């Protein structure tokens, strides 16, 4: 599915109204996750900000964007707690209505806490997962309002997901 079609689907499924001052949070890791997120929101015209971690290539790629940097909690329970605290502070300050995520672990706390605060969650399973689900996708599937997969084989793992086709 083309990025423009994905945007239209998100508007329809989540009930987005462009006339309101909707704030969109894009929570994702660096690299391919960020590339997919940028493609997914390419045609979205809302106020938006990113939650990610601050590597040099991320900083240069998101230059001119509103970015909130959090710690990368990769497989470290203490860093997950720190990430959750940072994410909560950002959510309280920014008050997004919608969170779009392509994963990975850096986005888990933002999505879970955002859901508890009433945000709509749109999760796009990474295109790198062709046959098996990601840990982040498995954790966020039950709380997602819209869950998109890029490969049909993943519909076996996520029966309520929407097949959108590859972003890349």
47, 24 contact by CB (below 8 A): yes
Is the pLDDT at 11 greater than 80? The verdict is no
| DSSP bridge pairs for 48 | 24
- Between CA 10 and CA 30, with CA 133 as vertex, the angle to 5 degrees is 70
Tell me which residue has tokens 């590339």.
Answer: 35
Model confidence pTM above 0.85:
yes
Predicted pLDDT of residue 2: 44
Band of residue 61 on the pLDDT scale cut at 50, 70, 90: very high
Tell me which residue of 131, 117, 136, 146 sits closest to 40, measured CA to CA.
Answer: 146
90, 65 contact by CB (below 8 A): no
Reported as a single tens digit per residue, the pLDDT across 80-120 is: 999 999 999 999 999 999 999 999 999 999 999 999 999 99
| Phi, psi values for residue 51, rounded to 5° | -120, 120
Report which DSSP code applies to 18: T
């Amino acid at each position: 599915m083309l990025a423009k079609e994905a945007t239209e689907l998100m508007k329809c499924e989540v009930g987005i109204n462009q006339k309101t001052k909707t704030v969109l949070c894009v929570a994702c890791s660096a690299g391919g996750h960020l590339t997919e997120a940028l493609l997914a929101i390419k045609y979205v015209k809302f106020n938006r900000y990113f939650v990610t971690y601050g590597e040099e290539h991320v900083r240069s790629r998101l230059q001119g964007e509103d970015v909130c940097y959090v710690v990368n909690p990769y497989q470290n329970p203490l860093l997950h707690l720190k990430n959750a605290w940072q994410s909560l502070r950002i959510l309280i300050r920014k008050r997004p209505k919608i969170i779009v995520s392509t994963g990975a672990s850096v986005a888990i706390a933002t999505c879970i806490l955002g859901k508890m605060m009433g945000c709509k969650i749109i999760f796009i399973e990474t295109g790198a997962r062709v046959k098996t689900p990601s840990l982040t996708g498995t954790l966020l599937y039950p709380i997602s309002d819209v869950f998109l997969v890029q490969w049909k084989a993943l519909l076996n793992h996520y029966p309520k997901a929407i097949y959108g086709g590859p972003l890349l």
